[in-house]
Structure 1
Amino acid sequence: MKSIDKVILGGVVVASTIGINYNIASADIVSQEIYTTTNRLNMRKGPSTDYTLVGTLDKGVKVKAIEKSSDGKWLKINYNSQNVWVNFAYLQKDKSSNNDIKLDSQYETTANVNMRKGPSTDYTKIIIVPAQTKITPIKSSSDGKWVQINYKNVTGWISAQYIKTVSTTPTPTQPNKVEVGKKYKTTEYVRARKGPGTSYDVATVLPKGTQVVPVEILKSGYWAMFKYNNQYMYVCTDYLEADNQSTTPTEPEKPITGKDYYTTANLNIRDGASTTSSKIGKIPNGTKVSVVDFNSNKTWAKVVYNNKTGWVSAQYLSTKSQEPEQKEDTYWTGTTTQNLNMRKGPSTDYSIIITIPKNSDVKIYETKSGWAKIKYKSYEGHCSASFIK
């Protein structure tokens, strides 16, 4: 009988010939993450119970992950220098290996990473982002395992497991000096917000090199108010640098009282300058209103409409009467998992625009309360997010 060398795995004698190599061209998910077994666990040669049993792991054993199966039910691990497969349901991720992704911060890829159209290996590969590439996450998936980035003018998703923070010099105690009326440009992709702080909602994502002309600088010096696509918003001054292509200061358009403005969206009119103030009416998109006052940071405007005086969000006012400009085309892609109704609004109360066939690719602009705002061919509307992967 031919002899074979043996190794001990989790207390069970198994053949050393169990190693099975699966080539991975570039990193996608769990590689190098540490997991702990939650029960006594069988090890197999492949990702299903149809494969040969090669050993058993005791409860509480730590293992290093290599690859996840396409159905997400099995995990390829390395244990005692052997590559085997175990049932993912009986593993718990080691808390010490969790990533804490900070958006708008700079990171670096630690391996060649596949960029995909969405936050999962189910999505199509777009390009490969080389190792040691500097990137800035735009958004993070709900489970924190994927981040959206822009690389060479291509936007997509990569696994958060393959990025690390970039060592930087200590943050200066003084903010970047920015002046009203001068032209600046963004130093990287950065989030512009609806108010002067990270607690405010994101208004849009500004691409690197976007020109910004501050209308007002907050007292702290860390936030600048500016106008973009006919809306007033805020950007952190740390992400601005002088636009040397235009050295002559220009006077930006400022909110002016006593003149007419036009709404760029359907607006609630309130009895105070806050979203917590009571609603006293609604103003349709494209309506002309007279502005009589602004609050201190110019984020709310006091207007007169239909003999009512109240407050509206200033970012939805424009001096020009026109259709609202199309927002920046920021989206990710998904695929329908069944025939899916597209509706005119985010509810079954809205009428159906078209039925999208199963396995159709759609563009997803946002998801909220279980509904996705999408585009399919030339159609735009809403559909249930549960049936898009």
Structure 2
Amino acid sequence: FKAISSGQEDPSDILTGKTTAKLNVRKGPGTKYAKMGTLSKGAKVEVITKLPSGWYKIKYKGTYGYVLGKYVKLNTPQQDEKVIATGKTTAQLNVRKGSSTKYAKIGSLSKGAKVEIVSKLSNGWYKIKYNGTYGYVSGAYVKLDSEQPKPGEDEKIIATGKTTVSSLNVRSGPSSNYSKLGILIKGTKVEVVERYSNGWYKIKYKGSYGYVSGAYVSLDGSKGEVIATGKTTAGLNVRSGAGTGYKKIGYLNKGTKVEIVTKLSNGWYKIKFNSSYGYVSGDYVKLI
């Protein structure tokens, strides 16, 4: 099949800014990491991830580096983004500065509040209009006014495969936070219509669509080609999905070699692990 995700970032989730001083670019989020280069004052930066420590993961010379965020002035968001969908919250919901719970809370929405969505991010979060600007909320707690495709709008199958576990949950959205629609037994054929950078697949299911974790689907003709290798820089948990919310399936010691098959937009890597696949945080893997 032809992959529609190559581990590239979701453009709608990239922040831009300029340095306020000459700034070192390092291999990891701290001064203990090796220096990769420098940015002059006023240099443009593209920020992929804002880390809780105050460091930013940025694009740098065809790869990634880390800079201290207090020396980067971020551009203010545009105020004219088009609303692509609307919905209502299904519970009281925090609004945050970025697309995950690690970002600071900027407000909250009561249950049943109307939301105007300007971007649907690949990790299941939504960028919404909020108080004259923008904020981010988890899509797990927003019911869209129209969630299913119109009759006759059948989506193209981009890949097929089979489930590899005894029972695989099918959910209403691309993460385990969404409600369960049903299960697929081991060996069930699946027809994939969309792949997400968090490792989930949108599939045909009972005349409509559902979502399953790609970690438990073996795609036909997929060899899991290694695109990069690296070594762990610390003891590192291997998980069933691309985030700390997923269950731990193993552990890698510091200095362990890893074979990477996908680089995900949230900074995690899908790797070969115990004759199958797992996910690790790229913050603790040094590419070689």
Please identify the structure whose Cα radius of gyration is greater.
1
Tell me the TM-score normalised to structure 1 length. Answer: 0.35
Q: Which has the higher contact order (CA 8 A, sep 6+)?
A: 2
Structure holding more strand per residue: 2
The two structures have a TM-score, normalised by structure 2, of 0.44
